[in-house]
């Protein structure tokens, strides 16, 4: 209603409402005109089409498949297929131990209590595999990798699913899709433009989008309704964030606390005409909506995030922005200028907490030291990358691999570093991990102790294969050293 009165004031000032006068001289005709204008404004507000309405209209169509119940006839068979492909006897043994620990072949493995596949990923895989079984005679496509895991995506390739090609700017070639085909949307979701284009092609769409991602979309819809700019903590080129951006009216992406602090400083200190807006737009040109004006669109903001980001950083950014808006507008007006709702994925949180626990064990003098923590998951997996950051920040030796083949028989490892660099060949198990040396220089074989975790897109079988290579390598190195000494 406040908005309606503002519109009336503008209309009066520009003399667009004829016969309407304020003050004692107001006529009955003026009152009737004013009431009619208010009703018209209210009606227009109700008619406003939000981005969410467009997405929901597409999702309600009969050839749009989503939800666990849409492929009931093949569900049991698909679940059995998934268990065969992804389960691990070794990992199950660790889970059955109260401390999630297993000693085998001279190695003690300590498994993070939360690790591996999350329910959203399992749901996406189930829907994708079910679509293949349900439409055996159709040409099947997927608009992106289903999840960031090589094994799972290779399995879809083997099931003759076509992965839509894209260029460097992530533009996808949908020309190969023809009427009657089946197109799957990945766990990260799809942009609204992609959904509209697919909707125009008379095809079947299978939506495997993780519900946690859809929850973020609901949050940015709330931002639009409230007239807020969505500040998204995420990587602007990541598939999930690209989909989320498309669900926003106005947005800006901040990758980390440094970028958030830059935005906060602008909010508090920038002035019209001081040249900082141009500098700001040069920095965020690829990370904000095309019509973005930092002076205008940072007056009222709401926080959302890419679900796989580091949760402590998202919370720190939220606290920073809240304090910034309080400083700029005062605590009494905070709710008019800032809105926050927790959109950090539960699976992301608990996996990060579990790695923290492994690091605590490493630091506890009453617990055995870990020689290193092994992180298993796709190199392009954001949630897995953040699992590596935690031990690295705490000074615990750690390696991020994407497949077991990264661990080589020559005792080298291919691994991803925190900055994203992939090191092709570096020393893996050093002598200090395998031997203790007494004052006389005598070597004694020691227990190798390994902390283990995996990303939310990583099946237990991937971890199992990696642990098998560690045990084999530990045995080879131990035996060769003993033989050298005889």
Chain centre to alpha carbon of residue 127: 19
Which helix (H) or strand (E) segment is 339 a member of?
A: strand 338-340
Compute the distance between CA of residue 302 and CA of residue 109 in angstroms, rounded to an integer. 43
Catalytic one of 145, 194, 239, 240? 240
Distances (CA, A) of 470 to 151, 341, 411, 450: 20, 42, 9, 9
Residues 6+ apart with CB under 8 A from 413: 399, 401, 406, 407, 425, 426, 427, 428
DSSP SS3 for 395: coil
Active site (annotated) includes residue 240: yes
Whether the Cβ atoms of residue 466 and residue 404 lie closer than 8 Å to each other:
yes
317: left (phi over 0), alpha (psi -120 to 50) or beta: alpha
Whether the Cβ atoms of residue 463 and residue 91 lie closer than 8 Å to each other:
yes
Place of tokens 């919370």: 315
List the one residue out of 466, 464, 465, 459 whose CA is nearest residue 125: 459
Q: What beta strand segments (E) does 42-197 contain? A: 64-65, 101-104, 107-111, 140-142, 161-163, 182-185
List the one residue out of 225, 219, 220, 228 whose CA is nearest residue 299: 228
Distances (CA, A) of 372 to 368, 369, 429, 470, 476: 12, 9, 9, 12, 19
Q: What beta strand segments (E) does 259-329 contain? A: 301-305
Compute the distance between CA of residue 44 and CA of residue 40 in angstroms, rounded to an integer. 6
DSSP SS3 for 267: helix
Q: Which two tokens stand for residue 138?
A: 């159709």
Q: Which residues are catalytic?
A: 240
């Amino acid at each position: 209603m406040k908005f309606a009165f503002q519109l009336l004031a503008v209309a009066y000032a520009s003399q667009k409402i004829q016969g309407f006068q304020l003050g004692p001289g107001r006529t009955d005709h003026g009152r009737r005109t004013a009431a009619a204008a208010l009703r018209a404004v209210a009606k227009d507000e109700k008619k406003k089409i939000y981005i969410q309405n467009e997405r929901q209209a597409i999702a309600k169509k009969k050839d749009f498949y989503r939800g666990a119940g849409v492929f009931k006839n093949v569900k049991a068979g698909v679940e059995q297929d998934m268990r065969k492909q992804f389960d691990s006897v070794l990992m199950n043994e660790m889970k059955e131990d109260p401390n999630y620990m297993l000693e085998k072949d001279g190695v003690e493995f300590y498994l993070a209590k939360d690790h591996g596949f999350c329910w959203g990923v399992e749901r996406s895989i189930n829907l994708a595999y079910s679509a293949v079984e349900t439409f055996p005679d159709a040409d099947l496509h997927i608009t992106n990798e289903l999840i960031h895991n090589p094994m799972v995506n290779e399995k879809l390739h083997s099931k003759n699913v076509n992965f839509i090609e894209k260029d460097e700017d992530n533009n996808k070639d949908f020309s190969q899709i023809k009427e009657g085909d089946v197109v799957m949307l990945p766990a990260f979701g799809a942009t609204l433009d992609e959904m509209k284009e697919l909707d125009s092609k008379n095809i079947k769409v299978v939506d495997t989008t993780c519900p946690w991602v859809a929850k973020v979309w609901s949050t940015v819809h709330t931002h639009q309704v409230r007239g807020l700019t969505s500040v998204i903590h995420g990587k602007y080129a990541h598939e999930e964030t690209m989909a989320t951006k498309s669900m926003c009216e106005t947005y800006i992406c901040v990758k980390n606390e440094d970028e958030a602090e830059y935005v906060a400083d602008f909010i508090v200190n920038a002035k019209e005409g001081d040249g900082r807006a141009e500098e700001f737009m040069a920095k965020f040109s690829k990370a904000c909506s095309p019509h973005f004006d930092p002076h205008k669109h940072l007056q009222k903001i709401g926080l959302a995030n890419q679900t796989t980001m580091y949760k402590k950083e998202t919370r720190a950014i939220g606290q920073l922005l809240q304090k910034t808006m309080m400083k700029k507008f005062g605590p009494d007006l905070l709710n008019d200028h800032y809105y926050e709702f927790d959109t950090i994925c539960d699976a992301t949180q608990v996996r990060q907490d579990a790695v923290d626990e492994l690091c605590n064990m490493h630091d506890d003098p009453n617990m055995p030291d870990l020689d290193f923590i092994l992180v298993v998951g796709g190199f392009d997996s954001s949630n897995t990358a953040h699992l590596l950051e935690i031990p690295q920040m705490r000074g615990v030796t750690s390696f991020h691999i994407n497949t077991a083949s990264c661990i080589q028989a020559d005792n080298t490892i291919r691994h991803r570093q925190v900055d994203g660099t992939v090191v092709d060949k570096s020393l893996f198990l050093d002598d200090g991990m395998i031997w203790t040396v007494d004052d006389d220089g005598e070597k004694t074989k020691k227990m190798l102790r390994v902390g283990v975790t995996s990303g939310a897109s990583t099946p237990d079988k991937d971890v199992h294969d990696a642990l098998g290579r560690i045990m084999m390598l530990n045995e080879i190195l131990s035996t060769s050293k003993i033989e050298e000494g005889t």
